[in-house]
Amino acid sequence: MQLLDSAVIDALIDWMAHGLFDLAWWQIILVMLGLTHITIVSVTIYLHRHSAHRALDLHPIPAHLFRFWLWMTTGQLTKEWTAIHRKHHAKCERDGDPHSPQLYGIKTVFWQGAELYRAEAKNRDTLERYGHNTPDDWIERHLYTPYSALGVSLMLIIDIALFGFIGLTVWAVQMLWIPVTAAGIINGFGHWWGYRNFEAHDASTNISPWGIIIGGEELHNNHHTYPTSAKLSVKPYEFDIGWMYISILSALGLARVKKTPPRAAYGDVRPVADEKTLEALIANRYEVMAQYARGLRKLVAQEAANLGDARVLRDTSRWMHRDTEKVPAEAQAQLAQARQASPALDKMVHMREELRQIWLNTSQSREQLAADLQSWCRRAEDSGVAALREFSMKLRSVRSRTA
């Protein structure tokens, strides 16, 4: 009997030391990364693209599997996450945005993003106003919502059972993964540092063109430009692993994509810009203005000799193609100096703002806006600025793919 008790104790000690799998340290790291990747995929596909933005419909089976996994690995509630994210888009970079680094500072959002999330989750008005059309079934009301801590506790037990004492570390990494990557990196650096394909109305940036580690959420400027798109990549060199998984689910009949980023089509150059040109311009304004920005940056390079000072050239290259309200105060003087030194640059910047006002001016009739666009194209092509003329000709050839 004593020998039996000793054998049992030895077996328990061995199990606690190595777990059921008895994996090597590098195998544990690979499994841990796999588990956290599943969590990221659940957030980007289920919470973000499906629940918050309705960019795709999920079959009930994967939808509930994602919801169950998130209950165990994050304790997050679908209604809370959805409501807070929708409010972020509605109030982006303005008073009321739950986690903008433009308001709170990058250090606060990166290090205390989870605290900002929890504080907003207590705001009943946010949940009621923005949390509509989220799960309200029996299991949500009786298990997931009232016992959110039970899921992460269950995950802790599973990790220890599978990996032994090191399972505590695996569990800790799982618990920190979303607060660091989503609350810190995406909500923080995704509105602070990176490159921009489009001049969205906020400060969103693409952190990396390869959206793998954070499930495609690295392409944050693309997302804020086309928030209801199920696909976050728009350029040939960009990769959205979340979209890859969505495509697989779609092929299996487990998902239905509702919207992807619009793409302009181009045909013959119309004699004049008409209402169809206006329609295509408005529908594809971000892509069209990205083309304008490329022409403007090219002109800056051509005018480099006239700009003189290296700081003026640097700030002009970085900020001249941006909306005026996005240019920091410390760069305003350099941009004004560049425009004074180069009449061509001044003309192009001035006409960029005029073009932008065409779709911002909602008080004008469709006919008047089309007439304004015709006038803009005539003046652009008569301006003597080659970049303006080339852009105007391209603009007169733009088509909506649905037209």
Q: State residue 324's pLDDT score.
A: 83
CB atoms within 10 A of CB 309: 13
Q: State residue 325's pLDDT score.
A: 82
| 9: confidence class by pLDDT, cuts 50, 70, 90 | low
Q: State residue 293's pLDDT score.
A: 93
DSSP assignment letter at 91: T
Q: Does 13 score more than 80 pLDDT?
A: no
| 350: confidence class by pLDDT, cuts 50, 70, 90 | very high
> pTM score, two decimals?
0.89
Query: Angle 216-217-222 (CA atoms, 0-180°, nearest 5)?
Result: 95
What sign does the CA torsion over 328, 105, 122, 73 have? positive
Q: Which of 217-221, 233-237, 271-275, 329-333 has the lowest mean pLDDT?
A: 329-333
Q: State residue 322's pLDDT score.
A: 86
Q: State residue 403's pLDDT score.
A: 37
Q: What is the mean pLDDT of residues 30-57?
A: 97
Q: Does 292 score more than 50 pLDDT?
A: yes
| 3: confidence class by pLDDT, cuts 50, 70, 90 | very low
Share of the chain above pLDDT 70, in %: 95
What sign does the CA torsion over 104, 105, 109, 111 have? negative
Domain ranges for the chain, please list them. 2-257, 266-399
Q: What is the 3-state secondary structure (H, E, C) of 320-388?
A: CCCCHHHCCHHHHHHHHHHHHHCHHHHHHHHHHHHHHHHHHCCCCCHHHHHHHHHHHHHHHHCCCCHHH
Q: Does 97 score more than 90 pLDDT?
A: yes
Q: Which of 158-167, 291-300, 352-361, 393-402 has the lowest mean pLDDT?
A: 393-402
Q: What is the mean pLDDT of residues 11-18?
A: 63
Between CA 116 and CA 186 the distance in angstroms is: 14
Q: Which residues pair with 399 in a beta bridge?
A: 265
Q: Does 51 score more than 50 pLDDT?
A: yes
DSSP assignment letter at 268: S
Specify whether the backbone of 377 is left (phi greater than 0), alpha (psi in -120 to 50) or beta: alpha
Q: Does 393 score more than 70 pLDDT?
A: yes
Q: What is the mean pLDDT of residues 122-149?
A: 96
Instruction: Check if the beta carbon of residue 300 is closer than 8 Å to that of residue 317.
Output: yes
**Look-up of token digits 């989870």:** 114
DSSP assignment letter at 269: P
Q: Does 148 score more than 70 pLDDT?
A: yes
**Look-up of token digits 């603009």:** 395
Between CA 83 and CA 88 the distance in angstroms is: 9
Between CA 273 and CA 270 the distance in angstroms is: 6
Q: State residue 176's pLDDT score.
A: 94
Paired tokens of 381: 């092509």
